[in-house]
Homo-oligomer: A and B are copies of this chain.
């Protein structure tokens, strides 16, 4: 029982909160070039925090994109090595007008801390650093060997860390990776995630006439880039959300009967999911599939944004020359990302409407992952989690994508413990993102307890 850690966290609450707030005030939006200096500052902040916690060999590693932060502590001979991963970059905060408090001024309300990046992922990754700090403060040593590798490009595809992991397998050698970038299934319910969807992210640009044309003079004969793109995208799914692109479902693996049965036992309430989380009139998706199947074990196609033509106030009667959409596929186990990209490109070529030219730009492509629930680290994590939260640990999947977990598997040959302290309504990528303060403090205790249990 991690009583000493619990006491340490209780006695240091104010400081642990103040330091997290300082981290959250840095608007480290990796996708926006104007925030480059903020991203650098967030990397320095992480490096400083690691050094303060007692980690050694702290490095800020320049890359072609945003820096990586590395640190290690390797003084527990005979004990396993845990590679802790997290990301210090965040999503853009727009639409700003929908935030109740400013996205980069962390604000406490109702036991939660509101700011961009609280749950995804600054607050969660900080539990690892603070667990190290707590253990070192109390014992002067750590129960396992630790390496940290923290990136600043998770929200834009993680190209730099992918290259780094591929190039440095010896430096990063470990027995298991620890990632806290997922959510608990429900409040107070210890949860380990053992499956993630992959992601293909692409831009599709459509070109019609060589310039915007007057719709009165040319309407009826000239191709319209916005309408061409609309026609193309509408063919990607049927009215039920089943993807119509040939080859996209190739290789899709159905979950085992036992896993499906365990999902049926989770406290999922569709009405609550619809009303409190999604907030629309009804859900969509493949007929004959439960909601959890649809978001965890089925591929999807989404349009994230679209722009073209005149979108200012009032009216302008143009036939637009150009239009662009940002789209993605979520992939599930056994789907080949390269084949899915090729299937998409081929489908776009074939279905581009008359008079329209299209270009597809792939921003990233990574496959899905599943973790073996019988690995000793997963057992230790489940037990550590249960002890702190007082309930049996459940095993779920996530519909999201953490490409680095695939890199750890491929290049280091290690599984990943996905021990998330977020909650389903944290609003990741949305206005009013939050993180439960209770989960922040208990997360620190749980991570420290996991190190102890895994060492034993």
Contact = CB atoms under 8 A, between A and B. Distances in A.
A143 interface: no
Interface stretch (A8-16, A132-140, A164-172, A298-306): A298-306
B313 A219 contact: no
A307 interface: yes
B363 A92 contact: no
Interface in A244-281: 273, 277-281
A388 to B, nearest CB: 24
A215 B223 CA distance: 31
A33 B328 CA distance: 37
Given A304-B318, A319-B302, A217 B428 contact: yes
Contact of A400 (B217, B286, B311, B354): B217
Interface in A96-121: 98
A443 to B, nearest CB: 19
Interface size class of A (residues with CB under 8 A): 35 or more
A331 B220 CA distance: 11
A132 to B, nearest CB: 29
A297 to B, nearest CB: 9
Contacts of A224: 284, 302-303
B310 A219 contact: no
Contact of A313 (B32, B304, B314, B323): B32
Contact of A217 (B32, B317, B363, B424): B424
Interface stretch (A144-152, A234-242, A333-341): A234-242
A221 B314 contact: no
A253 B280 CA distance: 43
B303 A306 contact: no
B355 A282 contact: yes
Interface in A50-91: 91
A148 to B, nearest CB: 24
A434 interface: no
Interface of A: 30-33, 91-92, 94-95, 98, 155-157, 183, 197, 199, 201, 207-224, 226-227, 230-231, 233-235, 237, 239, 241, 273, 277-286, 291, 294-295, 298, 300, 302-320, 323-326, 328, 330, 353-357, 363-364, 398-401, 424, 427-432
Q: Which 5 A-B pairs have the closest CB atoms?
A: A210-B279, A216-B400, A234-B234, A305-B309, A31-B314
12 contacts: A33-B313, A95-B212, A215-B330, A216-B330, A216-B398, A219-B302, A221-B291, A223-B281, A226-B305, A234-B234, A303-B309, A306-B311
